[in-house]
Structure 1
Amino acid sequence: MTPFPAYVPPDFTRPDLAAAPPVRVAEAPGSGVLPAGFHATSNYPEYVHLGGGRWLLASGSRMDAVLVLDGDMLRVVEPRLVRRGDRVVVGRTENGEEGIYVHTTGFDAPAGAGGDKFTFRSRGTRESPFSRSYEELYDILRHDRDHGHIVWVLGPAVAFDRDSRAAMAGLIGGGYCHALLAGNALATHDLEAALFHTGLGQDIYTQALVAGGHYHHLDVINEVLRHGSLERAIAELGIRDGIIRACLEHRVPVVLAGSIRDDGPLPDVITDSRQAQDAMRAHARRATTVIALATQLHAIAVGNMTPSYRVLDDGTVRPVYFYIVDMSEFGADKLANRGSGQARAILTNVQDFMVNLWNNLKG
């Protein structure tokens, strides 16, 4: 049994939708240049009317892309990837007036199931209990381990604690990670933990400061640069534990996107922002569950890339789950403000979250 709700498509026999005109398209005047009046997508299911009552669903709409119509195929394309002559959907309305329909309620509970119109505590905050959220997440991850694409977005805090670092490596080994998206810091401090048992110079178990420890992450970067790659460094230095090693061992793709703040960076970090975006989008488009831990900017970036739904090979439409785990409500609020309203927040210490998750999924 799947852990996600059934999708209810729009009723295209409704008078307003039955009367909708065919969608209009206009050719892109140049590569990376859009026609006037182009339609910018959301991350909700989006349909276009081809005429005669035929509505076509975009296979995975995401924020701030455009729709390109190729015959009966509808592609979702980032504006910079549009090519001269592409037939771009135009129209700025979303309720069928111009043959475009954005469907925001496909996974909602049936009408009347919500109870009172006014309630207290309708939004998740630091006061919310998350027991049910954990139970739902366990079910989703068990399902998606074999039938989905689980993407983790990690901040370096995951590697700052011995137990959370071991838990993440265990989840990777257990098949609960199909791609890892992070920055230079996560890989650097994961290897720092392996070589020095510290994170930014602090013991990853006792949290005691180590003399000269503030050099450790710089020594790690220098050592990896000397070996030429993370893979060679891990093999030649005899590293036997950690997150990056687990990804390499289990052939889980790792995308490390560069930042202006990076030391080094490591040789595997993608410093061209467009190349990094393309590499991240390849996994965001496939994702069925995303879990972002203690990395607000990376979480917001991936949230903008990720659809709220996927159309499976058999035509089933399922939700894409997006969890943000942080001590602060700020990240979840920013995701919602940037359009990723489906993001679910679990407000807790990420180290405790990781250990709790692994203790319930291992075995």
Structure 2
Amino acid sequence: MFKMPEYEAPDFSAEELKNAPNARWEAVEKDGVAPENYHSTSMYPEYFKLNGEWLLPARSRMDSSVVWAQDGTLKVVENRNLKKGDRVILGRTERGEEGIYLHTTGFEKKRDASEDQFVFRQGRSRETSYARDYDRLFELLKYEREHGNVVWVMGPAFSFDADARKAMSAMIDNGYVDGLMAGNALATHDLEGAMFHTALGQDIYTQKCHPNGHYNHLDVLNRVRRSGSIPQFIEDYKIDNGIIYSCVKNDVPFVLTSSIRDDGPLPEVIGDAYAGQSTMRAMVEKATTVICLATMLHTIATGNMTPSYTVTEDGTVRPVFLYTVDADEFVVNKLLDRGSLSATTIVTNVQDFISLTVKGLGLM
């Protein structure tokens, strides 16, 4: 059975923290511009001493400023979203010297003294055994379906395979998906699969190319734009299968963000990069588990805005679980290299991953 890791807060009675000064702040003078010497956040819990009390922001992300709001709470805000008059925390040290404390070990298990200090195969590669990772994921997903919020970040590889589409639809239909983030391609080719049983003109089961099949995704784009929205297209053309269909049917929100190379795009695709980032951030802020699948750029973007923790309504500090799955070792290691140290990485193709997951959950 899944057991939520317990959070151990810092010992604020320790001499260096008890005697730490209050954090300094300075008001923003111009919208979108932080004061000099602003403090930039990490993915870890960070405490700030204000009026003699250590405070933890409930929602965080990397590379942002901390605003001491007028209601006394702390808000983590991207610098571009700062407003004139916002009180921004200052300081570049993180051990209490400036009233700022970075806490990296809140969920860390104590190392067993009997464990060997030198061991083989600690990296993550195609040769790694992932059986235990899958079992833990199954336990986590069952828990999160009842108690959490699971966001899936998906590349278009899902839409190229009939079984992967069916498996992901089963995940959505059975309540294991609370939000989906992707680009124009995933949605376009999934809807192409629903209408023509192809992706980029190739049959999603036999892989046989259809005559003039390269028009199929363009025709889908054109028809969705004529309908005015994806839900209206689904109704107009009696679409009854696929990932996006399942999201619409089950009222699961999705965020589609654009690329400079997009065809169309679909009406729901957000063309403004920063508006897209903000919409993704709003979805990530609700998430307690994030699973990124076969999309390097979306994975890195999501990893940068996903903290290692969140604070629940009852004040409990709990971890945010982050998974990244890709057939390319470079992609999963890229996420780790960017500081997302709490990520669980699995090197495999996502079609196999999702098929194993639905079977492990007993859905197919």
Mapped pair 1:50 → 2:50: yes
For the pair 1:292 / 2:292, whether they are aligned, the reply is: yes
Partners of 1:206 and 1:14 in 2: CA distance: 65
Asked if the contact 1:160/1:199 (under 8 Å) is kept, the reply is: yes
- Which has the higher mean CA deviation after the structures are superposed, 353-362 or 140-149? 353-362
* CA distance 1:114–1:334, change in 2 (3 Å): farther
**Contact in 1 for aligned 2:64/2:79 (Cα 8 Å):** yes
Q: Distance in 1 between matches of 2:257 and 2:74?
A: 29
Using a 3 Å threshold, how does the CA distance of structure 1 residues 9 and 257 change in structure 2: closer, same or farther? same
Asked whether 1:13 is paired with 2:2, we answer no
Contact 1:257 1:269 (C-alpha < 8 Å) held by counterparts: yes
Distance in 1, Cα, partners of 2:268 & 2:243? 15
2:61 corresponds to: 62
Provide the C-alpha distance between the structure 1 equivalents of 2:360 and 2:133, rounded to a whole number of angstroms: 13
How does 1:1-363 map onto structure 2 within 5 Å? 2-52=2-52, 54-70=53-69, 72-112=72-112, 115-363=115-363
What do the CA deviations read for 1:17-59 (whole angstroms, capped 9, x no partner)? 222111111111111111110000011001001254x211111
- Segments of structure 1 that go 5 or more residues without pairing to the other structure are none
Kept in 2: contact 1:21–1:51 (CA 8 A): no
Deviation at 1:84, TM superposition (A): 0.5
Deviates most, 246-255 or 65-74? 65-74
Measure how far apart 1:176 and its partner are. 0.4
Equivalent position amino acid for 1:264 in 2: G
3-state secondary structure, aligned to 1:76: strand
Give the CA RMSD over aligned residues: 1.3
Once the two structures are TM-superposed, the CA of residue 4 in structure 1 deviates from its matched residue by: 2.6
Distance in 2 (CA, whole Å) between partners of 1:283 and 1:3 is 25
Contact 2:189 2:217 in 1 (8 A): yes
Report the more deviating stretch, 219-228 or 110-119.
110-119
Q: TM-score, normalised by structure 2?
A: 0.96
Paired residues of 1:63 and 1:339 also in contact (CA < 8 A): no
Q: Secondary structure at the match of 1:214?
A: helix
Q: 1:277-313 CA deviation, whole Å, 9 max, x = no partner?
A: 1111111111100111100100100111111111111
Distance 2:288 2:114 in 1: 26
Deviates more, 1:24-33 or 1:105-114: 105-114
TM superposition shift of 1:338: 1.6
SS of equivalent to 1:358: helix
Q: Is the 8 Å Cα contact of residues 126 and 347 (structure 1) preserved in structure 2?
A: yes
Q: Tell me how far apart the structure 1 counterparts of residues 94 and 332 of structure 2 sit (CA, whole Å).
A: 26
SS state at 1:36 partner: coil
- C-alpha offsets along residues 205-257 of structure 1, whole Å, 9 cap, x if unaligned? 11122222111111111111121111111111011101111001100001100
Q: Tell me by how many angstroms 1:113 deviates.
A: 5.4
Separation in structure 1 between the aligned mates of residue 90 and residue 211 of structure 2, nearest angstrom: 62
Deviates further, 166-175 or 55-64: 55-64
- Residue 74 (structure 1) shift: 0.9
One-letter code aligned to 2:142: R
Which whole-Å CA distance do the structure 1 matches of 2:327 and 2:190 have between them?
21
User: Do 2:23 and 2:48's aligned partners in 1 also have CA atoms closer than 8 Å?
Assistant: yes
Match of 1:357, SS state, is: helix
**Sequence identity of aligned pairs in percent?**
53
Deviation at 1:2, TM superposition (A): 4.9
